[in-house]
Structure 1
Amino acid sequence: MRAFRFVTVDVFTDRRFGGNQLAVFPDARGLTDAEMQALADEFNLSETTFVLPPAHPQNSARVRIFNRVAEMPFAGHPNVGTAFVLGREDEAAPPAYRFEEPAGLVEVVLERDAEGRVTGAEVAAPQPLRIGAPLPAAVAAACAGLAEDDILTARHAPVLAADGGNHRLLTEVSPEALARATPDLAAFRRAVAAHPAETGGFLSLYIYCRDGAGLRARMFSPLTGTVEDAATGSAATPLAGFLLHLDGGAEGAWDIVQGVEMGRPSLLRASARRMPEGIRARVAGRCVPVLRGEAVL
């Protein structure tokens, strides 16, 4: 019988039972791919991470991220939460980690309080912003359970974008529409079937609205088993990059509030900057430890 230690944390929040839940296995040596996937399904969270020795000694670790049905190339809150767990467990933790992931090397900088205790982290998207195809407003509206005129298109049509993780359909809506949106699984399936070249067989929807100087957002990904996500770093970074693309500036920063409608309020501090290779984005937030235990296999 084998035992593997795990820790759960709430990410992008400063209070327990807020933010986005994450399970972290700090030492996943000995687990097979199938066991990692089975454990992620068993935890039934949006993602679970497994930490392994790096392939190259100059890097900190190899981190594998699984949702309920598949491994992911990159995701935001799993990187922030994994760095938080590792930093909390190592008094000599470095200022930043370099994680090897399928999307590339991921840099995660630890955040500390005045006493030096790790409180959260900031993760850089591993790739520059990639803007994909637009989709009709009617498609986004149907997926969100909204009317087509709830979709705001004055600044942009619903558009697919990514920066290392799965692409997201970035869609601006009114505050009222944001509050009453309800994901429609059948509409997501129809959208993928009708737009196979654009979606690549996968679709998640990130709707947002302006809220003063900041943003409010919700993320729906029912095709992966996540009907709604409480905090999505890998959607916040392409959104920040895309807004900078629209604004035409050199850099920008946005506070994004997500998860309110789920009763798990989250705060994601997203920023983007123009670089020689394109627009690069980062997202930061705090974390709170919740549970510790062992998985016995």
Structure 2
Amino acid sequence: MRAKRFTQVDVFSSEPFGGNPVAVVHDAEDMSDDAMAALARWTNLSETCFLLSPRDPQADYRVRIFSSLRELPFAGHPTLGTCHAWLAAGGSPRGREVVQECGVGLVRIRSDGDRLAFEAPPLLRSGPVEEALVARIAAACGLARAEVRDARWVDNGAGWLALMLTDRERLLALAPDLAGLHGVPFGLVAPWPGGEAAFEVRAFIGGDAVPEDPATGSFNAGLARWLVEERKAPASFVIAQGTAIGRAGRIHVDREGVQVWIGGTCVTRVEGRLHP
């Protein structure tokens, strides 16, 4: 493997080091699957991305996304971070929007003022979550079953499910025991009445390098589809995430007809060379 451009991008926050970092390796054509997986484990971030030439003629670039556990067909903050790194390296979209090729197909990304925003992909799985799984997650979080107001699958490629709570302070105080939930991606959401965001979110994947995610694009994209389609939220709103772990994630949701856009600020924090 030859030396490559390497970028680390802070996604979903305008505050320095307040968002979710993602590593981006440019020109990764000569890297094997094993090498990509090994680097993703080594970076110890929630995701590491690898920029490649597109296979689909409609795409501007292709990306492969790896967590410390597995390759993901789609993830949200890696989508925005990779697009930011690609543009900063001189990438130029063929049309008005950037078109990313990844495991779920083509994802549209647009510049939205000082933010980038991706079109939320359709849900691969939706509907109520099985009661046994809801009870299992609630127990691991130290919640009584009655504290979970609703639960839905919001899976757009990463396997997410969402549990709705009623009390934001209760949400922030939780200390989940993830030992029995290895590899189960789930998020908790509660309304924030009168707050600077409409909802507060916490998201977890047991066994991952970053078990609590600071700001999660894929989960919030699925969650947003659930909230807006069932009229639990307005057409445009903001989700806060990362508060419980000292971050300041802000995910902007905008519904336009049947399209749902998920946006946030992206800032390059590290640039350099990755050496074999």
Structure 2 length-normalised TM: 0.89
Stretches (4+) displaced over 4 A:
91-94
Amino acid at match of 2:224: A
Residue 198 of structure 1 is matched in structure 2 by none
Structure 2 match to 1:206: 187
Deviations 1:159-218 (A, max 9, x none): 2222x32232211121122111122123315xxxxxxxxxxxx52111111113611111
| Alignment RMSD | 2.2
For the Cα contact (< 8 Å) 2:93–2:99, is it kept in 1? no
Match of 1:194 in 2: none
What's the counterpart of residue 266 of structure 2?
A: 287
> In structure 1, what is the equivalent of residue 169 of structure 2?
176
Residue pairs, 1:272-283, within 5 angstroms: 272=255, 275=258, 280-283=259-262
Residue number in structure 2 paired with 1:254: 237
**How many correspondences in the alignment?**
269
Question: Letter of the aligned partner of 2:216 in structure 1?
Answer: T
In 2, the alpha carbon distance for the partners of 1:246 and 1:56 equals 34
Letter of the 1:104 partner, please give it: G
Q: Which moved more, 1:282-291 or 1:138-147?
A: 138-147
Instruction: Find 2:143's aligned residue among 128, 143, 146.
Output: 146
Return the alpha-carbon distance in structure 1 between the equivalents of residues 3 and 90 of structure 2.
Answer: 21
- Letter of the 2:213 counterpart: D
- Assess if the C-alpha contact under 8 Å between 1:68 and 1:225 holds in 2: yes
User: Aligned AA for 1:12?
Assistant: F
Which segments of 5 or more consecutive residues in structure 1 lack a partner in the other structure?
113-118, 190-201
SS of the residue corresponding to residue 100 of structure 2 reads strand
Q: Is the 8 A contact 1:135 1:159 kept in 2?
A: no
Task: Confirm whether residue 233 of structure 1 aligns to residue 217 of structure 2.
Answer: yes
Distance 2:61 2:112 in 1: 19
Residue 263, structure 1, aligned to residue 256, structure 2: no
Letter in 2 for 1:160: W
Q: Give the structure 1 partner of residue 126 of structure 2.
A: 131
Give 2:33's aligned residue. Answer: 33
Is the 1:237–1:271 contact (alpha carbons within 8 Å) kept by the matching residues of 2? no
More strand by share: 1
1:273 Cα shift? 5.1
Distance of 1:19 and 1:84 partners within structure 2: 14
Aligned twin of 1:195: none
CA distance in 2, matches of 1:91, 1:168: 31
The structure-2 alpha-carbon separation of the partners of 1:50 and 1:240, relative to structure 1 and needing over 3 Å to count, comes to same
CA distance in 1, matches of 2:219, 2:91: 31
Deviation (angstroms), 1:224: 3.2
Asked whether the 8 Å contact 2:44–2:210 carries over to 1, the reply is no
2:102 alignment partner AA: E
- Bigger CA drift: 129-138 or 56-65? 129-138
1:67 and 1:80, CA in 2 relative to 1: closer, same or farther beyond 3 A? same
Q: Map 1:75-154 onto structure 2 (within 5 A).
A: 75-90=75-90, 92=92, 95-112=96-113, 119-128=114-123, 130-136=125-131, 137-151=134-148, 153=149
Question: Structure 1 residues 134 and 86 mapped into 2: Cα distance closer, same or farther (>3 Å)?
Answer: same
Q: Please, what TM-score do these two structures have when normalized by structure 1?
A: 0.83
Equivalent position SS for 1:134: coil
Matched-pair contact (CA < 8 Å) for 1:257–1:265: yes
Distance 1:222 1:248, change over 3 A: closer
Cα deviation digits, residues 261-294 of structure 1 (max 9, x gap): 111111000234553xxxx432000011111122
Q: Deviations over 1:245-268 (max 9, x none)?
A: 32289x722200000111111100
Cα shift at 1:237: 1.1
The amino acid of 2:188's aligned partner reads: I
